[in-house]
Amino acid sequence: MASIASPRRGRRAKRLTATAAGVTLAASTLAACGTSNAATVATLNFYSFNDPSGAVQTAVTNCSKHSGGKYTISYNKLPAAADDQRLQMARRLAAADPSMDILGLDVTWAPEFAQAGWILPWTGANEQAAKAGTLAVPLQTATWKNQLYAVPYNSNTQLLWYRDDLVKTPPKTWDEMIADAQALAKEGKPHLIEIQGAQYEGVTVWFNTLISSAGGSILTPDGSKASLGAPAVKSLEIMKKLATSGSADPSLPVQMEDQNRLAMEAGTAAFELNYPFVYPSMKADDPALFKHFKWALYPAVNAGQPARVTIGGINLAVSKYSPNPSLAFRAALCLRDRENQLNAAVEGGLPPTLESLYSDPALFTDYPFHAEILAALQAASVRPKTPAYQTVSIVISHHVSPPADIDPVGTEQAMVAEINDALASKGVIP
Amino acid sequence: MSAQDARKGQEPVTGDTQVVTAEPAQAKPRHRRRLSEGARAERRLGWTLCAPAVLVMMAVAAFPILYAVWLSLQRYDLRFPQQAHFIGLTNYGAVLTSQYWWHALVVTLIITVISVAIEFVLGMLLAILMFRTPFFRGTMRTMILIPYGIVTVAAAYGWQYAWTPSTGYLSALFGNSAPLTKTVAAIAIIILAEVWKTTPFMALLLMAGLSLVPEDLLKAAKMDGASAWQRFVRVTLPLMKPAILVALLFRTLDAFRIFDNIYILTAGGNGTYSVSVLGYDNLFRALNLGIGSAISILIFICVAIIAFIYIKFFGAAAPGAEG
């Protein structure tokens, strides 16, 4: 074999010599050009969810126009999935990316971004302007360790949607609702209850609403430990009861908001717990059913103790690495001013965070349920405030979905242990 | 006829042996005379030529791996950058005592073993088809290779829609069911998507192996009265063994690191996550660089073990292997 190998090796070396090519590594230096003086117009990069209604784009255009030549806002649309939005911003902020100025954060992200030092605190006149006339619960989501870190842009909350051709008076509690559904089933009428049961953020929201309505909380007030306890067991019992009562949608373990909407529009359901976007959709898709499509406050866990529904929405924060922070604060305030919030509510159906807008007749035609939304927002609950929220939520969603598999006491105990691990960034998340 | 005989019988017709008969008279003495000096110069030249590649490899492979090892020994959570500190092997302890890791490993191994086994059988059939077909050889090969040419993520979306109730024809075929929401059914669909996608690659590698088998040998075996099955098992397979092992090694390593199909089909939901998906979730959803890096390193070790087993097996069992 050696006699074969050596001449071949020699030839290979020669071939290599003949075809030797030099490798040139060119390094280019990117110079930052973020300096702005009085004469130039600063460009502020606004990263936010992709708004199909056009309301955000209108606000961006309006604010750029009214900035007095100080800044123009460039609207950069983030990916559709919330996880991907967060990942993109976290990744870039961890690398001190200076090309992001204003960030559209989901209501659960402010503690995480603030704790990591990625967003600037709101102080002085900016803080006062951000708080003036703003609903208290949305402000809570933007606050971390008693310091405001973002300004609420819009809010969101769920109502109970029902069909008044099937149900004369809307149920006040979960037990009543399940009993109503079972009665309808006996009569052979559409009876299903539509709610988000898939293994994702939506099912955590459901659990958070139940535990808050039962007078409990997921974490202790300082956010350092799991709280859960008896209210959690009560909430888990309700989730399991619905899932095994025959009144839940058979697809409950995979349903998200949009599947709920479609099932209600298909006419198989009597009740739906969902956000207000279902209203214009029903109006457009099924005018006949729309006549019987009514709303009420979210059902309570205990009779006489109103539900505390979890809120959603977007908060605007300013990146620590923004080259123009003072302009960014001003621009963020402009993006969520009265005019732009009203437009976002009318065009995009997003509930405003300025309380006075709920008594503005301009809102009434598209928001016949404005009084219920305001009531829900005033009594609302927020999701656990902790920088480790994302991990806590994953742990919860894996334990409460599929809801039929819940074992109230055992599930509560398992969640306490895993949430405590998640808070200490110790354990592995599924 | 054994494989050893087959290899002996093959030698007079190969290109290698022709080189031996033509060149040794000039090549050998020249090489012997300047052995030390020439060899050293050659080695120096070799290293010089390799140096840029080695540097690039260090920068893009060695550095990230070592950095991942370093991160895996720390409590390093992007959300708590101030609290980062060295904690030794604690992260590995956390991962190895976590039921999620072992679940992911079992799921990954199930997907790997089943998909590679199916791919091997189907790939062999397709390879023989591509190699032996007397008509439309080009068209046939193109058709078989199409799935491999489609971007995995795009194909995975196709499967996802097909299996989703109300949008998918496959779901409709099975009574509008939602198989992607059930663990076993979802894993079966992931394996199906994986097999559909990568069988052509297996077939391509195996076809290269088939072309190693000399026609004369098969004709000789036929003359000796060997049936088609005997010729395949006793002549073709032993001669193809190196190609088969390379194909299996490549696919096993790829299958073990499965990510994109699962990410699109189920996003790891309902217990369908593989080790790579678990690593991704801990790194990028939990932003926990310590735990996530520990998972990455463990995946790297698993891959190294698989490669080691194959190479050991290859060296020990390949017929006519050098040395």
Q: What tens digit of pLDDT does each residue of B260-311 get?
A: 999 988 888 778 999 999 999 899 888 889 999 999 999 999 999 999 998 8
Q: For position A347, what pLDDT does the model report?
A: 84
- Going by their DSSP bridges, the two strands A102-106 and A312-318 should be labelled as antiparallel
Could you give the ipTM of this predicted complex?
0.71
Q: Which helix (H) or strand (E) holds A279?
A: helix A278-285
Determine, for residues B278 and A428 on separate chains, whether the beta-carbon distance falls below 8 Å.
Answer: yes
- Quote the mean pLDDT of chain A: 88
Give B117-152 pLDDT, tens digit per residue: 999 999 999 999 888 888 888 888 888 889 999 999
Q: Contact, B13 vs B214, CB < 8 A?
A: yes
**A300 - beta bridge partners?**
A173
Q: For position A21, what pLDDT does the model report?
A: 36
Determine, for residues A428 and B98 on separate chains, whether the beta-carbon distance falls below 8 Å.
Answer: yes
Structural domains of chain A in order of their starting residue, each with its CATH number: 42-156+311-378 (3.40.190.10), 159-310+388-423 (3.40.190.10)
Q: For position B33, what pLDDT does the model report?
A: 54
pLDDT of B16 higher than 80: no
Give A145-181 pLDDT, tens digit per residue: 999 999 999 999 999 999 999 999 999 999 999 999 9
The listed CATH number (2.40.30.30, 3.40.120.10, 1.10.3720.10, 3.30.200.20) that belongs to domain B95-317: 1.10.3720.10
Judging contacts by C-beta atoms under 8 Å, the chain A residues touching residue B94 are 426-428
| Residue pointed to by tokens 């390094």 | A27
- Distance between the two ends of chain A, CA-based, in angstroms? 54
A255: left (phi over 0), alpha (psi -120 to 50) or beta: beta
- Cross-chain CB nearest to A3 (options B24, B52, B94): B24
Angle made by CA atoms B259, B260, B261, in degrees to the nearest 5: 100
Judging contacts by C-beta atoms under 8 Å, the chain B residues touching residue A4 are 16-17, 19-20
CA distance B37 to chain A (A): 14
Judging contacts by C-beta atoms under 8 Å, the chain A residues touching residue B287 are 90, 390
Dihedral, CA of residue B172, residue B177, residue B179 and residue B184, to nearest 10: -130
- Cross-chain CB nearest to B94 (options A91, A117, A426): A426
Q: Does A7 touch chain B (CB under 8 A)?
A: yes
- Quote the mean pLDDT of chain B: 83
Q: Which helix (H) or strand (E) holds A351?
A: none
pLDDT of B215 higher than 50: yes
pLDDT of A300 higher than 70: yes
Mean pLDDT is lowest, of A51-65, B47-61, B99-113, B125-139, for: B125-139
Percent of chain B's residues with pLDDT above 90: 46
CA distance B32 to chain A (A): 10
**Cα A85 to chain centroid, rounded:** 11
Band the pLDDT of B3: cuts 50, 70, 90: very low
Judging contacts by C-beta atoms under 8 Å, the chain A residues touching residue B89 are none
CA distance A387 to chain B (A): 7
pLDDT of A9 higher than 90: no
